[in-house]
Each structure stands twice: as C-alpha cells, then as structure tokens.
Chains A and B, each alone.
Chain A
Amino acid sequence: MLSDSFGLPKGAPHPENAAAWLEVCGSKAGQDAFNPLKGSIPARTDGDRSLYDAYLQSAMDDFSSNKIAPSLAHGAAASEGWVTTISDVMTLFVADLDVAAAQAGLEQAAESAGMEAPPEEALSGDLEIFSWWTAGGEADGLNAMYGVFSEKYPDVEIVNATVAGGAGSNAKAVLATRMQSGDPPDSFQVHAGHELIDSWVKADKMEPVTSIFENNDWLGSYPPGVIDILSYDGEIWSVPVNIHRSNVLWYNKQVFADNGLSAPATFDEFFAAADTLQAAGVTPLALGDNGIWTFIHLFETVLLGTMGAAKYRGLWDGSTDWAGTEVKQALENLAKMMDYVNADHAALSWDQAAQLVADGDAATTIMGDWTEGYFLSIGLTPDVEFGWMPSPSTDGMFIMLSDSFGLPKGAPHPENAAAWLTVCGSKAGQDAFNPLKGSIPARTDGDRSLYDAYLQSAMDDFSSNEIAPSLAHGAAASEGWVTTISDVMTLFVADLDVATAQEGLVQACADAGMC
C-alpha cells in the first residue's frame, strides 16, 4: 500500500483550522468525497462501497482482509534518503543486471540509512543479570543460557548478580532498593504476570519488550494464553524463559497398587480413594505448609478444579464473584481435603511432604513440577516409583507460572539487555536452560528429545490445555493482593472456618481494587 496523507507542522499559523481540516480528511464523508474522483480507495474500512467502481470495490475488499505491506517506491517503507540511494542502485542494475553488485549496493544503502542490524560482535561492555538462581539445576540452567549468549556476543562481560535465600524474597527486597535508588540492573528475573505488572510496570519502571517479540517473529511461537499473561496496556513487558505447572498431583505408584486404587481424576474419586487409604493407615495427602505459600498453592488448584478455567481466570479481573457459591464450594473442598492431610503439616516444608510420598507414608501430594526434580534427586524413576496426574478435576487445564526477564527503564546497557532478552526468548536459549532447571520452554517449539517423560507430558498439555495463571506464584494477582490472601489462608488453615475465609477473600479483592 501507499497512501497520501496530511500532517500538522509545528508552528502552523492556524492550528485549530488545521486540526479541523485533518478531522475532515480522516472522516468517512471526507474520504468518500475525495476517493471516487481520485480513483483510490478510502484509508478507512467503512467507506461507502456504492460510490466506487468494480476494481476499487475489489481493492477495498482486499485492503480490509489482506496482509498490508508498505510501498518502497512511494515512500511508505523507507526514508527519502534511503529511497534515493536505492534509486541509484536500481538505475545501474536496470542497465547491467549485475545481481552481486546490486545486492552489495543495497546492503550499503541499508547501512548508510542506519537500518542495517549492527554486526553481533559489535556489542561490548557489561551485562548485569539479576536473579535468585544461586544453586542446583536453576543455577546450571542460567549458566547454560549465559553460554548461549557468550557464544554470540563474546565481547560482553556478564555480571551474574544473584541474591540467595527466601525463594526470591531477599532478591526482591534488594531489587526494590536498587530500582528506587535509580540503579537498576540491565535485566532481572521476575515472575511473569501481575508480580511484574503491578509492582514495576504500573510504577513506570519498565520498558516494553513488544518490539523484541515482533522483530524475532515470536508471537506465533508462544501460546496466546502466555502472551495475555505477559501483556498490559497493549504491550508485552517481559520475556519468559520457562513454564512450570502448579496443578500436579504426585502419587506413590506402589501405595496405589497395594490398595487396588487408580490415580484419582476428580474430587469425588479423590475423596473416595482418600477414605480407602486412610482406612489402610496411609496418609492420603501430604502437605508441608510451614511456608503458607504451599497452602495457597493447594488452594489455587482446588479453586481451578471446583470452578473451571474460565471462572478461575475471572476471579482475577473481577468478573467472577468471590462471594459466590463456587468460591464457597472450593473452600469447603479444601477444608474437606484437610481431613486427609498429615497431622504435622505445619511443621514440614513442601520437599519434606514429597519425601512422605517417596517413603510410602503418604499416597499423594499436590505441588508444582519442581517436585519431579526433588524425586529425581533422591533417586526415584518417573512412572516407576512415582506417577503424576493433573490435580483433582483439573484435567485439560494448566496453571502456569513462569520466570521471565524484563528490561528496566534506565538500564545501563540497554543494547546488551535487548540481546540478552533475545537469547532468553530464543529456542536455543530455552532449550539450554529448561532441561537443567526441570521446567518446560515457554515456546511451543522446544526440542522434545531434550526433556524427560514428565516434562514431555507437560509440554503436550501446555500446548493443548486451557492456560490459567498461578495465584501462589505471582502470575494471577498483585503482590499486595496475594499478601492479603496469605493472611486469610493463614487463619483458614488453623480454623477451617469457610464463612470467615470467604468474607476475607471478598475483602481482599476489594482492597486490591479489582472488585
């Protein structure tokens, strides 16, 4: 396409009149007056078809349905200077038809127009990456991704700024101080979704990364549910490197076989199996909630199982009523589940709960897919000693949480940061990171052969299931909202009072400004 248009110069002597003129230019009446006489179609899509001839009508149809590309010859694609240089090249080419010389000329034209992508080796200086990945598979994965980056940009010095401890809470505190004092790292790890958006994007501390997605043509490589979670106000704000699944029920295959049970798919099956197991002297559900987040984690899977993905997503934008019967039912299901957990749940952590399942003291535990990493680390084999299922009544649904990297405003080396984010979002970067971290790539085109049986099944589910954001891990709600819900659940786990908890949840939503 090419298009004639009118603009408004600075210092125009009659700006109000000019604005009125531009309004006419852009209006349906103005365009339908001009175009039938000029022999062109209106730039608007709602022109009056009856005014145009057969050719123009077909052009109008195509214009509203086709992919639009800008015209080079008519000034839509490139600057006038660039077009002039290209004219020179083509003037010679039409005479000698020398392809090599023409291409060299075109390359030079792009370069002198400042549009040539700078050669990759040109990047140098430092790149400070801030994360809380200090040990184990996650640190190995991060280093593998640094390896991919260094291969492409050998002159960039990576500064690995990590803060250990507290599942990221220490790192977040340090990050907050640095951001407030105007000393941001080049890129930092953050849970994709509201944790990023409510804490940093709304505070105007981040640069959008939409252009990185567009330049690399990634929009088709990520499921739309993921792009939704990353987006706010029409822009994408971080590049996800991995996906973890939260709604997984891990079970001890031996215990289930001994009791003649199959893995439960629904709440009814779960409670029926739980009765059998309890009668046999096995703890049906292992829970380790010495940190309240594990109980919130259980709560989110029960919420999803009780109300389904659409209503669950509605909880976070105010379209599902927190005072409604589904939330009540979810709390009742959760309270009922607590009849079947180990008595010392408040003294254990999630991995100690997983250990109960490994030892056969408990039959199941509901936890994210880092549990698999724990089972592997104590020498169990997937699908032999332990099995997995979506948590009760969540078949076909996938609660995701994702670690991502963002681009803070005022980053000292923004070009290096952009190159880093390009590595983070690339297939090579994600396939280097995720097999070591024990998570699946956020892209749907990861190399399956690099992942084990569980992760392959998670990859299948991720590309086919309905995606829902995690509450416990920062994707669904702002940190302030999650904190209030933590308060509610801290009291609920002690007294299991459904009515009080629901009141608290309703108020939490109101306090967060979403209801």
Chain B
Amino acid sequence: MAYARRERWIAFLMILPSIILIAIFVYGFIAWNATVSVSKWDGVEPDYTWVGLDNFKQLFTKEGGISAKRFTIDMWNTLFFTLFFLVTCVLLGLLLAILLDQNIKGEGIFRTIYLFPMSLSFVVTGVVWQWIFAPGAGSRLRGVNALLSAVGLDALRWGWYTDTSSFGTFHKALIPVIIAASWQLIGYTMAMYLAGLRAIPDELREAARVDGANEIGCIGISSCP
C-alpha cells in the first residue's frame, strides 16, 4: 500500500512540469485572451478598461459595419471549410483504408504514398497548391487549368481560389482550399482506420461471410463495433 502511494507520488511529480506548463501556456493564455476580449484595448498600449461584450457586438451586429460583414463571411467560410474538410477526410480515409486492407501487392508502397503529404508543413502544402490552382489567364494558363486545356477539357476551367461567386453563403473559392487540406490529412485518417480494421480478427469476418454477407456487408457489419 505504502509502495503504491509512493508510486503515485512519483508519477504525479513526473507529470507536474507538463501540468504547470500547460496551465500557464494553454489555459493561462486562454483566460488572458478572454480578459482582453472584454477590455477596451485596441492600440499598442494595453488598456484593460472593462467594456463588457461590446467587442463581440461589433463583430456580430450591424454596428460593426463592413468589418462585421467580413467577419460573418469568414465565419461561414470557417464553418463550411471545417465541415467539408472533415467529411472528405473521414470518407476518403475510410475508402483508402478499406482498399489497402484487401491484402494487395505493394501495400507498403501505397501506404507510404498516402501518408507522405503529412510529413510536409502546412505552409509548404499551401504554397504548392497555390501554384497548382493558380488559374492564369488567356494565353498563359497555369497549373490545373493548363492541364485541363491540354486534354481538351476547357469547359472545366475556372478561377479556382480567385473565383468570387458563391452558392448562398458557400464561396466556390473554398473548394480548392478544401482539396489541398484534405490531400494533406487523408493519409492520417486512413492510418487510423487501417489500424482499426487490422484489429478486427479475421474469424469475425469469416463468420460474417458464413452468415451470408457480401464483401461490403462484411466490412459494414464486422467493422462497426
């Protein structure tokens, strides 16, 4: 008993530095952020005069004028981006995982290729995809547009991230951004799903197959916990 208590103390001391650092640099700063957000500080000099929720009113109401309008657009963009980015990553990641789980030849190579983008920094991904989707114009088409034109698919050319039109509050220019972000992180979700799929014993699938399920059914029934 005494031994166990000492163990626990040592464990606690071991994680104490992390607790302190996280308390300061994560939660401390979140709290500080919240304090600043209800203060009057809008210049270089700190000014902690309490203004309640006025800053937030500025962001969300007509009072905020053009800045509020931009903020609303940015909110919708973030919302749509998160939604489509997550859905794409989850669905395509699962699809790739299932494909890799078919005991195919060269599985290792494919797995590496799918995971590769993760090793790039987001900045690099952003810059490279910015080049790829740069539309060009007239006789000097670039990136994807040049490719589409070369194979005679001129009808599919468009402005990509420079397009300013939208469906309701969804701006079309988000599509290339979602593609780029998904490209980077699909490998990660694939790895998660693959690990999960591999954890399912083959007997379970055998059982499902014996019970008369087809391949897709096999995956569905046996993989869902």
Q: Which residues of B contact A (CB under 8 A)?
A: 42-46, 65-67, 69-70, 130, 133-140, 142, 159-162, 164
Identify the 5 closest CB pairs spanning chains A and B, nearest first.
Answer: A346-B162, A504-B66, A343-B137, A494-B164, A203-B45
Given the interface pairs A203-B44, A203-B45, the reply to whether A511 lies near B65 with Cβ below 8 Å is yes
A361 at the interface (CB under 8 A from B): yes
- Would A180 and B66 count as touching, CB distance under 8 A? no
Q: Tell me if A491 and B69 are in contact (CB < 8 A).
A: yes
Question: Measured between C-beta atoms, what is the minimum distance from A237 to chain B in Å?
Answer: 15
Write out the residue numbers on chain A whose beta carbons fall within 8 Å of the beta carbon of B137: 283, 342-344
Q: Is the CB of B66 within 8 A of A199?
A: no
- Which residue on B lies nearest to A488, using beta carbons? B66
Partner of B159, one of A202, A344, A490: A344
| Residue A428 lies at the interface, judged by CB distance under 8 Å to chain B | no
- Report yes or no: A361 in contact with B139, Cβ–Cβ below 8 A: yes
Q: How many Å from the CB of B5 to the closest CB on chain A?
A: 44
Residue of B nearest to A490 (CB): B70
CB pair B66–A491 under 8 Å, yes or no, is yes
**CB proximity of B186 to chain A, nearest CB, Å:** 25
13 A-B pairs within 8 Å (CB atoms) are namely: A176-B44, A180-B45, A180-B46, A283-B138, A343-B159, A344-B136, A345-B162, A480-B42, A487-B67, A488-B66, A504-B66, A507-B65, A508-B65
Contact in complex: B65, A200 (CB < 8 Å): no
Annotate A163-179 by CB proximity to B: 1 below 8 A, 0 otherwise: 00000000000001001
On chain B, the residues within 8 Å of A345 by CB distance are 162
The residue of chain B having its C-beta at the shortest distance from the C-beta of A508 within the complex is B66
Contacts of A199 in B (CB 8 A): 43-44
User: Which chain A positions have C-beta within 8 A of B140?
Assistant: 361
Interface residue? A157 (CB, 8 A):
no
Closest Cβ of chain B: how far from A200's Cβ, in Å?
7
Q: Does A495 contact B (CB under 8 A)?
A: yes
Residue A456 lies at the interface, judged by CB distance under 8 Å to chain B: no
Q: Note all chain B residues with C-beta closer than 8 A to A176.
A: 44
> What's the nearest-Cβ distance from chain A to residue B163, in Å?
9
Q: Tell me the minimal C-beta distance from A279 to chain B in angstroms.
A: 14
A278-324 contacts to B, CB under 8 A, are 281, 283
Q: Is A272 an interface residue (CB 8 A)?
A: no
CB of A219 within 8 A of chain B? no
Mark out the residues of chain A between 473 and 497 whose CB falls within 8 Å of any chain B CB in the assembled complex: 480, 484, 487-488, 490-491, 494-495
Known A-B contacts A199-B43, A361-B140, A494-B164; the reply to A344 vs B66 at CB < 8 A is: no
Give the shortest distance, in Å, between B122 (CB) and chain A (any CB).
16
User: Given the complex of chains A and B, what is the CA–CA distance between A361 and B45 in angstroms?
Assistant: 48
Interface check A437, CB cutoff 8 A: no
Establish whether residues B69 and A347, one from each chain, have CB atoms under 8 Å apart when the complex forms: no
Question: Which residues of B sit under 8 angstroms from A343, Cβ to Cβ?
Answer: 135, 137-138, 159, 162
Interfacial residues, chain A to chain B (CB-CB below 8 A): 176, 179-180, 198-200, 202-203, 205, 281, 283, 342-348, 361, 480, 484, 487-488, 490-491, 494-495, 500, 503-504, 507-508, 511
Residues of B contacting A342 with CB < 8 Å?
137
Residues of B within 8 A of A500 (CB): 66
Q: Within the assembled complex, what's the spacing in Å between the Cα atoms of A480 and B42?
A: 9
Q: How far is the CA of A358 from the CA of B137 in the complex (A)?
A: 16
Given A199-B43, A361-B140, A480-B43, A344:B134 Cβ within 8 A:
yes
Most chain A CB atoms below 10 A, which of B46, B134, B161: B134
Of chain B, the residue at the smallest CB distance from A345 is B162
Asked whether B66 lies within 8 Å of A487 as measured between CB atoms, the reply is yes
Give the distance to chain B from A424, nearest Cβ to Cβ, in Å: 23
Quick one: which of A200, A487, A507 contacts B70, CB cutoff 8 A? A487
List of A residues within 8 angstroms of B133 by Cβ:
347
- Interfacial chain B residues near A490, Cβ < 8 Å: 70
Which residues on the B side are within 8 Å of A511 (C-beta)?
65
**Chain B CB within 10 Å, residue with most, of A345, A480, A507:** A507
Q: Is the CB of A179 within 8 A of B44?
A: yes
Least CB distance, A356 to chain B, in whole angstroms: 8
Contact: A347 with B43, CB < 8 Å? no
- Complex Cα–Cα for A484 and B140 (A): 35
Contacts of B45 in A (CB 8 A): 180, 203, 205
Instruction: List the A residue with the shortest CB-CB distance to B163.
Output: A346
Report the bound CA distance from A198 to B159 in whole Å. Answer: 39
List chain A residues, Cβ under 8 A from B142: 344
| Residues of B close to A487: CB separation below 8 A | 66-67, 69-70
Instruction: Compute how far the CA of A180 lies from the CA of B36 in the bound complex, rounded to whole angstroms.
Output: 15
Give the Cβ gap from B107 to chain A, nearest Cβ, in Å.
38
B43 and A504 form a contact (CB under 8 A): no
- Given A347-B161, A495-B164, A511-B65, are A200 and B135 also a contact pair (CB < 8 Å)? no
Which A residues are in CB contact (< 8 Å) with B67? 484, 487
Distance of A447 Cα from B139 Cα, bound (Å): 45
CA distance A198 to B134 in the complex (A): 38
Report the bound CA distance from A199 to B161 in whole Å. 34
A489 to chain B, nearest CB (A): 10
Is A203 within 8 A of B43, CB to CB?
yes
Give CA–CA (A343, B145) in the complex, Å. 13
Complex CA distance for A339 and B45, rounded to whole angstroms: 43
Q: How far is the CA of A506 from the CA of B70 in the complex (A)?
A: 16
